[in-house]
Amino acid sequence: MNSLPVARPLRHVVLGVTGGIAAYKAAELTRLLVKEGISVDVVMTRAATQFITPMTLQALSGKTVLTDLWQSGAANAMGHIDLSRGVDAIVVAPASADFIAKLAHGLADDLLSTLCLARDCPLLVAPTMNVQMWNKPATQRNVAQLEADGIEILGPGSGSQACGEVGDGRMIEPEEIMAALHAWAQPKSLSGKRVLLTAGPTFEAIDPVRGITNLSSGKMGFALAQACAEAGAKVTLVAGPAALPTPASVTRVDVQSAAEMTAAVDAAIDSTQVFIAVAAVADYAPTQVHPSKLKKGNSAMTLELQPTVDILGRVAARPKPPYCVGFAAETDDVAENAEAKRRKKKLPLLVANRVQDTMGRDENEVTLLDDKGAHPLPKMNKLALARRLVAEIAIRLSGLG
Ligand code: CTP
């Protein structure tokens, strides 16, 4: 087995803070970074110190906050160079219009801009400014220049601004910056690929208020959709009823029943290179949906059910199927039942787990089954597992696995 693609390390970052009202959010961002065990060196511009004190960020980062090119404390007076060596990334959040303009032109007239110019590590910036400033051709030119220079732009968001105006230019929230940072760090192993997933339970109506469903939360499928998008894929997620937010950059198609899920998959499958069926699709649906609410009677009631379409089985049986990945949640004899399922559905890869280990939980422990045998993976949270599965799929797709 060839080695799996690995994520960029995120152990030590420089957090640059520039002048803007969103500077107060740098406190929360510092806290979130530290909470994840990431070492943070904060560097503030003079303008930033007008919005939040260095002491706040020093208390949260546990390190001296640097603000001055001439007081960086390095014995060799090369603080601006030393600081960026050995860090995994410089993140400037918030990045003002003025600072973005400086970066675009290679100006270096304070510690942070000098540090950015002297860096030998990746640079990510989260813009913050008034909507009119963001929309100005000069800003758009500068941002395009930063992108052309390989600098990662995080956001901006849209919405109401501190100045009272509404539109683009708001710094994305610290949680979103964290998510964007982790997404950026993932290897782009599915770049250019179209991935279609099913997730969640289905709901098979009996009458207007009742139906048959199951305990699937959709967490594993949504985590996989996120991991595929982070890996650079164009992702469509066909979701049964699941109260989960749509992962960034994922196109979501909401459905209720197995029949609707089948139709949504049929509509998207032609352009798909990878199909991952995570949904707990009902195997049977009521033959008839009663148009009005069923009334209670005194005798036993019989519900007639008919089998639903096996969505994964049908996709895998296409003359030129996409790379198909199935999930099998079993209560007993997991490995035998799952391998039988893999062969029956003719799948190159099947992820087997115990119902007790996965349904509704945040963690999962799975075994991968492919033509070469069974490969157990350690227990991990569903997002970590999703990223691992993406790496496993990518390496098999490339023919190296
Ligand atoms: N699946 C599907 N369409 C169905 C039923 C299942 O696409 N109508 C997919 C699931 O998304 C999963 C795989 O098939 O990837 C296995 O699902 P599972 O419910 O474990 O197996 P079944 O094929 O339904 O067999 P059984 O219920 O008898 O275990």
- The pLDDT value given to residue 163: 84
Please tell me the distance from the alpha carbon of residue 359 to that of residue 337, in angstroms, as a whole number: 18
- Classify 291 in phi/psi space as left (phi over 0), alpha (psi -120 to 50) or beta: alpha
- The pLDDT value given to residue 77: 61
Is 217 in contact with 359 (CB distance < 8 Å)? yes
Is 32 in contact with 175 (CB distance < 8 Å)? yes
The number of the ligand 1 atom at minimal distance from the alpha carbon of 283 is 8
Q: 287: burial class by Cβ within 10 Å (0-12, 13-18, 19+)?
A: exposed
Each residue's pLDDT expressed in tens, for the chain with a length of 401 residues: 568 989 999 999 999 999 999 999 999 999 999 999 999 999 999 999 999 999 999 999 999 999 987 765 655 666 667 888 989 999 999 999 999 999 999 999 999 999 999 999 999 999 999 999 999 999 999 999 999 999 999 999 998 888 888 999 999 999 999 999 999 999 999 999 999 999 999 999 999 999 999 999 999 999 999 999 999 999 999 999 999 999 999 999 999 999 999 999 999 999 999 999 999 999 999 999 999 999 999 999 999 999 999 999 999 999 999 999 999 989 888 889 999 999 999 999 999 998 887 777 888 999 999 999 999 999 999 999 999 999 999 999 998 66
**pTM flag (> 0.85):** yes
AA identity, residue 74: A
Kindly state if the Cβ of 326 falls inside 6 Å of ligand 1.
yes
**What is the Å distance from ligand 1's center to 327 Cα?**
7
Residue closest to 43 by CA, chosen among 32, 52, 54: 54
- The pLDDT value given to residue 361: 80
Residues with a known catalytic role = 163
* DSSP H or E run through 286: strand 284-286
- The pLDDT value given to residue 145: 98
**Helix 219-230 and helix 382-397: axis angle, to 10°?**
50
The number of the ligand 1 atom at minimal distance from the alpha carbon of 341 is 23
Secondary structure of residue 392 in the 3-state scheme: helix
- The pLDDT value given to residue 251: 98
What φ, ψ does residue 309 adopt, rounded to 5°? Answer: -75, 140
Domains (ranges, CATH) in the chain? Answer: 12-185 (3.40.50.1950), 194-291+299-397 (3.40.50.10300)
Please tell me the distance from the alpha carbon of residue 339 to that of residue 349, in angstroms, as a whole number: 10
Residue closest to 269 by CA, chosen among 312, 298, 306, 207: 312
Per DSSP, 264 falls in state H
